A = this chain, B = another copy of it.
Amino acid sequence: MTRQIKLGAFLPGGGQHVAAWRHPDQPADGATSFEFHKQLARTAERGLFDAYFLADGLAVAFGGGTEGGNAKVAGFEPVTLFSALAPLTTNLGFIATASTTYEEPYNTARKFASLDLLSGGRAGWNVVTTASDAAARNFNLTKQPPHATRYRRAQEHVEVVKKLWDSFEDDAFIRDKKSGVFYDTEKMHFADHVGAHFTVEGPLNVPRSPQGHPVIVQAGQSEDGRKLAAATAEVIFTAHQRLDTAREFYRDIKTRVTANGRNPDHVLIMPGISPFVGRTEEEAREKYERLTSYIPEEDGIALLNALTGGTLDLTEYNLDGPLPPAPETEGNKSRQALLRQIADENGFTIRQLYQWVASARGHYTIIGTAVQIADILQEWFENEAADGFNILPPWLPTSLDDFVALVIPELQRRGLFRTAYEGRTLRENLGLPIPINRYAADHPTIQAAE
């Protein structure tokens, strides 16, 4: 089968752009409206997206510049929201972000296994570490743990969760009413994990779904983040503005994956794209400028600070001047580096930088017609820069509707995107294999040991 583009849809109900909620089309209460998320999920499924993707935070996000101007103060917890959307859809995957920093792996394993089971194998877990002092203060700490500690804990957290997901082999359940044997005790397994951060005996009290494990997703750009992604991720979200840096990242990750003894085809790299789609280029440009006009200066400054975990306070600087140099911090390193790169490459002032990132928070903003957008996606896809894309419509539902109505058909015409779902599970649609249970007789390392 020909290789095709995979697509995630990043659809926070309040819209992605910092001022999305002020757009006339956008329901102002979208972030907390279940009905609106239902509509978005159905549109994404109509557009044959692989998955609906949501970020998450363990504190009120982005304090805002303008008093009370922050529309992202409140929303749903992603796993509960996706659990509610799953029965209302049939093929769409659901990739929920959850922190490894402030959760216990037994609880993480359970909630994702449960979502995966009730959705018939459509769950994914976007593994993150939580870089925020505000979140730390919601979990008995005063400051976030150091970057390296968070990543070590993250790696072990994922390891424990994956062990727990294999607690029952797929044929463990016999359920013979006559003999009274419900399950084969030889096919239930204890994790017996003892590590630096966690001691977890298992087994997990949730069985595997039709896709085996929820899909593991990761988005770190830093050295620690890349290591974690290369070791564990099956889908990698990333942010690039240019083909050459995207290709560099793609090559680096695929090389690391191979070095880890993993198949590089089973790790999909998906840069984020924020599309302003117009029937003409002018129309697309007008859409961009209209949204930009809704950003108050204070919110623009606050946004840059929030994106870097509070390490880029530009309140005292001239907005029409350049970015000042930055100190080494424990904040979100990859985001700070990315912002500087965008500013450097485009010669942006502080104002231009916040206007640019306001729509996609560091992802690639493309302003153009369906043909122009499809050209870029095709170029990246065919030149080892991407296996797919995470689409971040700047405001909702309009820019999602535009993408589904205009860009999807253009990609389909080029044979670059499916015209029907390949299967019912997220793995089937992404073309990822079902992980063989680590304790099963057909597991390669078990066969090798015999």
Contact = CB atoms under 8 A, between A and B. Distances in A.
A185 interface: yes
Contact of A22 (B106, B180, B205): B180
A138 interface: yes
A188 interface: yes
B87 A200 contact: no
A439 interface: no
Contacts of A114: 76-77, 80-81
B102 A106 contact: yes
A369 B88 CA distance: 39
Interface string A71-92: 1011111011101111110000
Given A68-B174, A80-B80, A199 B140 contact: yes
B180 A69 contact: yes
Interface residues of A, number: 81
Contacts of A412: none
Contact of A118 (B59, B76, B110, B138): B76
Contacts of A34: 87, 117-118, 120
Given A80-B80, A118-B80, A140-B199, A29 B69 contact: no
B29 A202 contact: no
Given A28-B175, A139-B104, A77 B206 contact: yes
A183 B70 CA distance: 8
A177 interface: yes
A207 interface: yes
Contact of A110 (B24, B77, B299): B77
Interface in A186-244: 188, 198-207
Contact of A87 (B21, B57, B87): B87
Contacts of A71: 175, 182
Contacts of A29: 173, 175
A75 B201 CA distance: 18
A185 B174 CA distance: 57
A154 interface: no
B201 A137 contact: yes
A101 to B, nearest CB: 11
A319 interface: no
Contacts of A23: 177
B207 A66 contact: no
A75 B61 CA distance: 34
A181 B68 contact: yes
A18 to B, nearest CB: 11
9 contacts: A32-B206, A68-B183, A70-B183, A71-B182, A75-B206, A103-B104, A103-B107, A137-B200, A137-B201
